[in-house]
Amino acid sequence: MADQKQEQRRAHFADDPAAGPLTTDQGVTVDHTDDSLQAGERGPTLMEDFHFREKLTRFDHERIPERVVHARGAGAYGYFQPYESCAEFTRAAFLQDPGVQTPVFVRFSTVQGPRGSADTVRDVRGFATKFYTSEGNYDLVGNNMPVFFIQDGIKFPDFVHAVKMEPHNDIPTGASAHDTLWDFVSLQPETLHMMMWLMSDRAIPRSYRMMQGFGVHTFRFVNAQGKGTFVKFHWKPKLGVHSLVWDEAQETMGRDPDFNRRDLWDMIEAGEYPEYELGVQLVAEEDEHSFDFDLLDATKIIPEELVPVRPIGRMVLNRNPDNFFAETEQVAFHTANVVPGIDFTNDPLLQARNFSYLDTQLIRLGGPNFPQLPVNRPLAPVRNNQRDGYHQSRIHQGTSYSPNSLGGGCPALAGADESAFRHLTERVDGQKIRKRSPSFTDHYTQAALFWHSMADWEQQHIIDAFRFELGKVNAKEVRERTVGELAHIDHTLASKVAEGLGIPAPEATDTPRPTPSPALSLENLKGDGSIRSRQIAVLVRDGVDAQQVGGLKQALGEQGAFVEALAPQDGEVSGASGSLSADRALPTVASVLYDAVVLPDGGLGAGDTAADGAARRFVLDAYRHGKAIGALGSGIEVLKKLLPDQVRTASGGAEPVSDQGVVTAAANGGAFARAFAEATAAHRHRNRPPARI
Ligand code: HDD
């Protein structure tokens, strides 16, 4: 089944441009497209030139409105496969048979910035999956954080207006560090739990391949007997959860604003397919009220220590789209796209979403027929009486009403023995009322849970992020009000943020101190511990030990890393022991685009050319950003000069010395490659002494 979506897509491919000459939209052959039809060589352009008018008109209409949120994204196709049957909990067909692969399309996104904004901004990342199941499309429209800013969707326009660019000057692009967002946050404490996540390193993922995804809401599984079970969805990346550091993220915005998008594309092209495990937290209906928070409140998690995440399947993304606009831009997700066996809860945020997505797509995609677009088209047959509208591309035949006799009563309704979507029968009883449930009012306990579950360095990054963001807020009262709110989470947090802002520490308040949840810390989410797909730079020049570089490339490449020789310019590099080809010219790249760097024997850094200077900056940046650094032979001397206080011990022999991710050895051998791979797999070394720059 995994290939069926590809076959369906292929039927929509445009005519082969190599199969014949250029034509108009009407299929008329064109032999001249560089000059418009004019009355005389210098004369006016003639209205009669239909090719010219068509070409310009089509160009003038190429753009559609970008998404009101999540405008910038990147997508990929792949498949999902369950580990075992989930029939006990859900009748969803795609979760029954471990032998069945269901095609998927996933779109990752940032939230605040417009389509052209940078990838590595501090922001939530969207993680939306469309499963083309045999029973129709199921969309799991999630984020890389398990909670949300608000509890009721009626506040969504307020929140989005606050976080988006300010209305008078359209600033800032792709950033939350501005007055209106923090004004809103300081007045709306339900945002605080999510703000803790947003200020953490979760908001600057190293890669879409290295972040979790969450359905956020509590949904419902429904089994064949009609029994419901509450469910929260989790995506766990096989490579572990890894983040950038803030300084690195900011520099990357300039060096490669497409950093995450490019990474996804390149790795799929290279056959390094992103993989995620789908897990579920299941809660029996009878246990709905057994937590000290409300399952319907999207600002709360169910700590994994209370309800473990049960793995139920895996998803592999193995194909890039052929056309960004047709597929990634026109894909339309909707929380209400559910299949038999998956249902909603009364979470008021979810209920609002179930209205909003279809509504926004009607304007964004120009009418009601967008489900016919190839990327949105289900694999399951579509038979109904919906008709006409803009961009209708199906030719319906026969009657279009129900009941009918003239059309043979078709399409008929599903019989009791057939799999149809049937809403869970649930008793609903209550006063018509506009009021937040009292069970939604604790906004601090889980914010504190997150804070107390962080490692020291994670807490420091959160403090730094609050200082950065609030430091960009002009309104003094907004800064103070926010710090006042933080004091309800943790007094140390609030005091340290206050100190950075130069304002008095708030009064100590009675703050909650929940038992930490280790599952929340990046320290415990390192994945398979491999260096698969890590980008490693080796700084080379004429005279380098080419054999050593070749050996390194092989040893690290065998473990799945991508090793690139960076030289002062492209072309051949003549080494002490043979020659090698530069993979990239140093001026075209930067340290922030790599996970680790090696100074080989005879490599760059020792001399006083511009390239040596650039190489030294490269290594210093890698050091500041906590990345693995390797040095071999004369490379060690370069490193010692650069970081005299930090290279505390260096190896003079073949046995490598590894200290805080700085790995040295006289020569490359298996032991160096192993130690360096280990330092690279650790991703970032957070507790290094600062470099003197
Ligand atoms: Fe939303 C897009 C995720 C709350 C209204 N949302 C959108 C996308 C993702 C999410 C991943 C991008 C889909 C894509 O790639 O095309 N949204 C979430 C999550 C939420 C959430 C995880 C909270 C749990 N959203 C939310 C609320 C509302 C919306 C409360 C409105 C009441 N979201 C939208 C939207 C968007 C959207 C305006 C913009 C483009 C689109 O839908 O197709 O309708």
Whole-number Å distance, alpha carbon 523 to ligand 1 midpoint, is: 29
What is the number of the ligand 1 atom nearest to the C-alpha of 154?
32
Q: What is the pLDDT of residue 652?
A: 76
* Half-sphere CA count of 474, side-chain side, radius 13 A: 2
ipTM of the complex: 0.98
| Domain 449-524 class in CATH | mainly alpha
Q: Whose CA is nearest to atom 31 of ligand 1?
A: 353
Average confidence score pLDDT of the chain: 96
How many degrees, rounded to 5, is the angle at CA 390 between CA 384 and CA 393? Answer: 60
Output the CA–CA distances (angstroms, integers) from residue 311 to 84, 95, 247, 485, in the order listed: 10, 12, 35, 37
Which of 51, 70, 234, 334 is the catalytic position? 70
Which tens digit of pLDDT belongs to each residue from 279-288?
A: 999 999 999 9
Q: Which sequence spans correspond to the domains of the chain?
A: 73-372, 449-524, 535-681
Whole-number Å distance, alpha carbon 158 to ligand 1 midpoint, is: 14
Separation CA 462–CA 453 (nearest Å) = 12
Residue 319 pLDDT > 90: yes
Per-residue pLDDT, averaged over 191-202, amounts to 98
Q: What is the pLDDT of residue 650?
A: 80
- Note the pTM of the prediction, 2 decimals: 0.97
Domain 535-681, CATH homologous superfamily name and number:
Class I glutamine amidotransferase (GATase) domain (3.40.50.880)
Whole-number Å distance, alpha carbon 341 to ligand 1 midpoint, is: 23
Does the Cβ of 153 fall within 6 Å of ligand 1?
yes
Q: What is the pLDDT of residue 693?
A: 63
User: Which ranges of 122-234 would DSSP assign to H, the alpha helix?
Assistant: 156-163, 179-187, 192-199
Same CATH fold assignment for domains 449-524 and 535-681: no
Separation CA 131–CA 4 (nearest Å) = 12
Instruction: Answer yes or no: 223 catalytic.
Output: no
Does the Cβ of 128 fall within 6 Å of ligand 1?
yes
Does the Cβ of 350 fall within 6 Å of ligand 1?
no
Higher pLDDT: 184 or 667? It is 184
Q: What is the pLDDT of residue 1?
A: 67
Per-residue pLDDT, averaged over 373-379, amounts to 98
Among 64, 66, 68, 70, name the best residue to mutate to test ligand 1's pocket (greatest count of ligand atoms within 8 A of Cβ). 70
Whole-number Å distance, alpha carbon 357 to ligand 1 midpoint, is: 7
Does the Cβ of 143 fall within 6 Å of ligand 1?
yes
Whole-number Å distance, alpha carbon 586 to ligand 1 midpoint, is: 40
Which of 51, 137, 143, 260 is the catalytic position? 143
Separation CA 495–CA 681 (nearest Å) = 35
Among 151, 154, 357, name the best residue to mutate to test ligand 1's pocket (greatest count of ligand atoms within 8 A of Cβ). 357
| Domain 73-372 class in CATH | mainly beta
Q: How do beta strands 73-82 and 102-110 pair?
A: antiparallel
Which backbone phi and psi does 112 adopt, to 5 degrees? -80, -45
Q: What is the pLDDT of residue 668?
A: 74
What is the number of the ligand 1 atom nearest to the C-alpha of 357?
44
Separation CA 66–CA 182 (nearest Å) = 25
What's the pLDDT band for 244 if we cut at 50, 70, 90?
A: very high
Separation CA 280–CA 273 (nearest Å) = 23
Which tens digit of pLDDT belongs to each residue from 646-673?
A: 887 787 788 899 999 999 998 877 899 9
Q: What is the 3-state secondary structure (H, E, C) of 603-634?
A: CCCCCCCHHHHHHHHHHHHHHHCCCEEEEECH
Whole-number Å distance, alpha carbon 140 to ligand 1 midpoint, is: 11
What's the pLDDT band for 601 if we cut at 50, 70, 90?
A: very high
Peptide bond before residue 403 is cis, with ω within 30 degrees of 0: yes
Which tens digit of pLDDT belongs to each residue from 414-464?
A: 998 888 999 999 899 999 999 999 999 999 999 999 999 999 999 999 999
Does the Cβ of 87 fall within 6 Å of ligand 1?
no
Does the Cβ of 67 fall within 6 Å of ligand 1?
yes
Does the Cβ of 110 fall within 6 Å of ligand 1?
no
Instruction: Answer yes or no: 668 catalytic.
Output: no
Beta strands of 134-274 (E only): which ranges?
A: 136-143, 213-214, 219-222, 228-237
What is the number of the ligand 1 atom nearest to the C-alpha of 355?
32
Q: How do beta strands 73-82 and 562-567 pair?
A: unpaired
